[in-house]
């Protein structure tokens, strides 16, 4: 019987910080990522692929703002921007993965599912925005935008500039998870929970409505992985292993980390918010919820023996 893996693609799999973000850039990056996914397909895994959307959603909102100022087009709410990004990113992943599979004489259906995720409208995150979206700005540029729009910005922990931050509520329920699992276990490759899912809440009984937020894609992916009983959860990022004392002379890469160690490192502030910390929390949530391993690594190390950092129960 085939195993089931959820693979959460990091931003680097779609768009790199030194790129303008053209569709050509993103297609090239996704093709390279899709080549690495073949390792899992050939290792007898069925796949559910999730992905981030921070830069893309930020660019959608910038384009919307320009359209509003120049042509009076109506503002696009953040939940609609997330849905928009799910559609076009899913299309790019589906197309490039299909290209790679055809080049390697493989054939599977690849299906993108627009995914809503239920959140609590009273989640404390709405009072403390922390999720970075969009491009990087200089300090001066971010201050000017704040003065003009009231948007909040935070400095990137790796010194790449300043990014707009928005609310990131906790995901509670993944919509259509039964169908996602059924399709994946039947051998289809499923793309779902893009950008953490479209945030929605019950404005009243039996009435869903979108809300202005971006859900952390790793945490939502972890919840999905638990709900569909995945055998493995891969979190892809731009570093091969999780490090403690990052960017210091005492930096140490970790091959293995128990959830107790992971929680202790979080308490010590070893992992930056908006960077590695959400990935660690997502890994902990999966391991606690499933009893199985999570692996945090870079795309080029995917599927390699001893590649990445393995998060385990004990």
Q: Do 290 and 147 share a domain, yes or no?
A: no
Domain end marker among 166, 192, 224: 166
Residue 221's SS3 state is helix
Q: Do 63 and 191 share a domain, yes or no?
A: yes
d(CA 155, CA 247): 16
Q: Do 146 and 46 share a domain, yes or no?
A: no
Domain end marker among 166, 191, 222: 166
Tokens of 197: 């899912």
pLDDT, one tens digit per residue, over 241-276 is 999 999 899 999 999 999 999 999 999 999 988 789
Q: Do 202 and 232 share a domain, yes or no?
A: yes
Q: Do 153 and 270 share a domain, yes or no?
A: no
Q: Are 55 and 13 in contact (CB under 8 A)?
A: no
Q: Do 182 and 156 share a domain, yes or no?
A: no
Q: Do 155 and 173 share a domain, yes or no?
A: no
Q: Do 176 and 233 share a domain, yes or no?
A: yes
Q: Do 149 and 224 share a domain, yes or no?
A: no
H or E element, residue 40:
helix 23-42
Q: What is the pLDDT of residue 159?
A: 87
Q: What is the pLDDT of residue 238?
A: 86
Tokens of 133: 């979206």
| CATH classification of the domain holding 297 | 3.40.1160.10
Q: What is the pLDDT of residue 90?
A: 96
Q: Do 83 and 159 share a domain, yes or no?
A: no
Q: Which residues of the chain have pLDDT under 70?
A: none
Structural domain span for residue 203 = 3-129+167-312
Q: Do 49 and 96 share a domain, yes or no?
A: yes
Q: What is the pLDDT of residue 58?
A: 80
- Active site amino acids: 11-12, 131, 217, 279
Q: Give burial (CB, 10 Å; 0-12/13-18/19+) of 231.
A: middle
Q: What is the pLDDT of residue 189?
A: 98
pLDDT, one tens digit per residue, over 292-303 is 999 999 988 887
The distance of Cα 302 from the centroid of its chain, to the nearest Å, equals 16
Q: Are 222 and 290 in contact (CB under 8 A)?
A: no
Q: Do 142 and 181 share a domain, yes or no?
A: no
Q: Looking up tokens 């971006």, which residue turns up?
A: 214
Q: What is the pLDDT of residue 151?
A: 84
Whether the pTM exceeds 0.85: the reply is yes
Q: What is the pLDDT of residue 249?
A: 95
d(CA 108, CA 183): 11
The number of domains in the chain is 2
């Amino acid at each position: 019987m085939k195993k089931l893996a959820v693979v959460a693609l990091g931003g680097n799999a779609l768009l790199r910080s030194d790129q303008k973000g053209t569709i050509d850039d993103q297609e090239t990056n996704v093709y390279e990522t899709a080549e690495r996914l073949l390792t899992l397909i050939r290792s007898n895994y069925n796949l559910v692929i999730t992905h981030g959307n921070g830069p893309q959603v930020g660019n959608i909102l910038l384009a919307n703002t320009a359209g509003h100022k120049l042509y009076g087009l109506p503002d696009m709410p953040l939940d609609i921007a997330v849905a928009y990004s799910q559609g076009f990113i899913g299309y790019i992943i589906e197309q490039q993965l299909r290209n790679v599979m055809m080049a390697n004489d493989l054939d599977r259906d690849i299906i993108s599912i627009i995914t809503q995720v239920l959140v609590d409208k009273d989640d404390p995150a709405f009072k403390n925005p922390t999720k970075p979206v969009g491009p990087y700005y200089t300090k001066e540029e971010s201050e000017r935008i704040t003065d003009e729009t009231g948007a909040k910005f935070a400095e990137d922990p790796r010194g790449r500039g300043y990014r707009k931050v928005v609310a990131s509520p906790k995901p509670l329920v993944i919509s259509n998870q039964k169908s996602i699992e059924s399709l994946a276990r039947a051998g289809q490759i499923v793309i779902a929970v893009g950008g953490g899912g479209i945030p929605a809440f019950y404005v009243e009984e039996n009435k869903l409505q979108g809300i202005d937020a971006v859900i952390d894609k790793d945490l939502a992916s972890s919840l999905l992985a638990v709900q569909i009983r995945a055998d493995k959860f891969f979190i892809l990022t731009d570093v091969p292993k999780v490090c403690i004392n990052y960017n210091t002379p005492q930096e140490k890469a970790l091959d293995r980390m128990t959830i107790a160690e992971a929680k202790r490192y979080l308490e010590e502030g070893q992992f930056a918010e908006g960077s590695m910390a959400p990935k660690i929390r997502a890994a902990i949530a999966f391991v606690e919820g499933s009893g199985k391993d999570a692996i945090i690594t870079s795309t080029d190390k995917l599927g390699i023996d001893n590649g990445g950092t393995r998060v385990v129960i004990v």
